[in-house]
A and B are shown apart, each in its own frame.
Chain A
Amino acid sequence: MKDACREIRLRFDETDPLRGAHLESCEDCVREYETWKQLNRLLDEMPPVPAPDDLLEAVLAALPRPRPKALPFDRLEAASVVLGLGFTLVAILLRGTELPSLESLFSQVPLSSLSQVLAWAAVGGAIAYALGNETRTLISVTGSYEGQVLRRKAK
């Protein structure tokens, strides 16, 4: 085989502007090119290999679970304030009824009605904040546990 023929045949699978000119003057390469095209046709007609049906499902089950987004601190604080104000409102509405007086809790410290309201708000806020934190911890714990279970199943 001539070097020129070999060079052209090496590039049978490429778009080669020199090929046309060479083929016009080389019958061997014309035959070779026809056979080459036929082989390409046979290869291109081979059926594709599809991925197994359950591959997607298996991958998704084995993916690490995204960490639950923690409540932003300021949002938790705002929720605490709102709940605290709610407590306060209830305290005001129930004033005159048998609302347990904080004065009895802090009997050594005389409290005005304003300071009583503020104290209730603080207590309410603290409770709401503590509850919020507990919930956040709970979400985090259950989230990571669920992730562990899924990973174990995938293995």
Chain B
Amino acid sequence: MMRNMAFASQHSEIALIRRSQSGDRQAFAELIRCHQNEVYGVALRFLGNPEEAKDVAQEAFIRIYRNLGQFRGTSKFSTWTFIIVRNLCYARMRRLEKDGFCSGENEEGREDLETLPEALVIQRDTQRGIQEALGELPEKYRLVISLFHFQALKYEEIAALLELPIGTVKNRLFRGKTMLRESLEKRGIR
């Protein structure tokens, strides 16, 4: 049953992609609806700033639309999409660094994390604690944990996205979660 649903969903996505490739804007709008949370989420994990993430997500969809003709279906659409988002995020991070903006592990980065939509909706102390503990992790661990748990990406997808061997992804996930657990224990969260 689940497999049939997955097949139907994949089949309808392929149909949407084909229609979008022939210039059907409504079909592309539907594709955006299906992927906007993932695209925005990945951008947010990379950049740690909702405004920048929204900007990159918008740019990513425009790039996806322009390059849809190059999508041959040899990889998953989501993987192809994530690689576009990743490249834009790297470019944006370089630009922000050049302009003197920081994101990630310093105090400013933490302030950014405080303003994440997640943080705004998190009411329980536990979730706030997890968010803070995640924010204190080195970026390479935080990114892998976020992509694995919040974006539900598989090892292979994370490896393709970050251009890392699968073994490194698994190691970072393990090491990052071990650090996270220790940090949570110090906060009394078990």
Contacts and interface: CB of A to CB of B under 8 A. Distances in A.
Check if A and B associate: yes
A138 interface: no
A13 B171 CA distance: 11
A45 interface: yes
A55 B29 contact: no
Interface string B8-44: 0000000000000001010011001100110111001
A64 interface: yes
Contacts of B127: 45-47
A10 B58 contact: no
Interface of B is mostly: helix
Nearest to B44: A49
Interface stretch (A35-43, A86-94, A125-133): A35-43
Given A10-B174, A48-B150, A49-B41, A55 B58 contact: yes
Which among A47, A51, A56 has the highest number of chain B CB atoms within 10 Å? A51
B170 A49 contact: no
B189 interface: yes
Contacts of A59: 32, 58, 61-62
A66 B117 contact: no
Contacts of A35: 181, 190
B143 interface: no
A125 to B, nearest CB: 32
Contacts, number: 94
A62 B62 contact: yes
A39 B184 contact: yes
A39 B29 contact: no
Contacts of A44: 149
A48 B32 CA distance: 17
A51 to B, nearest CB: 4
B148 interface: yes
Interface of A: 9-13, 35-36, 38-40, 42-52, 55-56, 58-60, 62-64, 66
Interface of B: 23, 25, 28-29, 32-33, 36-37, 39-41, 44, 50, 54, 57-58, 61-62, 65-66, 116-118, 121-122, 126-127, 130-131, 145, 148-150, 170-171, 173-174, 177, 180-181, 184, 189-190
